Amino acid sequence: EDQVTQSPEALRLQEGESSSLNCSYTVSGLRGLFWYRQDPGKGPEFLFTLYSAGEEKEKERLKATLTKKESFLHITAPKPEDSATYLCAVQSGNYQLIWGAGTKLIIKP
């Protein structure tokens, strides 16, 4: 069964303390893995798409990497405004999009 698991469920960091969020997946025929950021009461905001193992993408303090079974979202020297829920989604071979439950990231000043 296709499945996406995000960990940890919640992560509290001090401002400037780098860390990583994990998205593990089992899917038949990966077409793409997506990272989104969601602020409370708002729709998800697109961050990255990764298509194949070994691919990396960066945007400001965020860097997403992909292997054959998981993706990491690395956050370097985070700021309080990086606080949000980060969602991972995987598109399977039949184009179905499977969502993880998200990681709530809190950056304390």
Residues in contact with other proteins by the rule CB under 8 A: 31-32, 34, 36, 41-46, 49, 87, 91, 97, 99-102
Q: How far is the CB of 77 from other proteins (least distance, A)?
A: 27
Name the residue nearer to other proteins (CB basis): 75 or 87: 87
Q: How far is the CB of 79 from other proteins (least distance, A)?
A: 23
Q: How far is the CB of 6 from other proteins (least distance, A)?
A: 8
User: In three state form, how does the secondary structure of the chain look?
Assistant: CCEEEEECCEEEEECCCCEEEEEEEECCCCCEEEEEEECCCCCCEEEEEECCCCCEEEECCEEEEECCCEEEEEECCCCHHHCEEEEEEEECCCCCEEECCCEEEEEEC
Cβ proximity to other proteins: between 10 and 77 the closer is: 10
CB 27 within 8 A of CB 98: yes
Residue 62 CB, shortest distance to other proteins, in Å, is 16
Nearer to other proteins, 16 or 29 (CB): 29
Nearer to other proteins, 48 or 75 (CB): 48
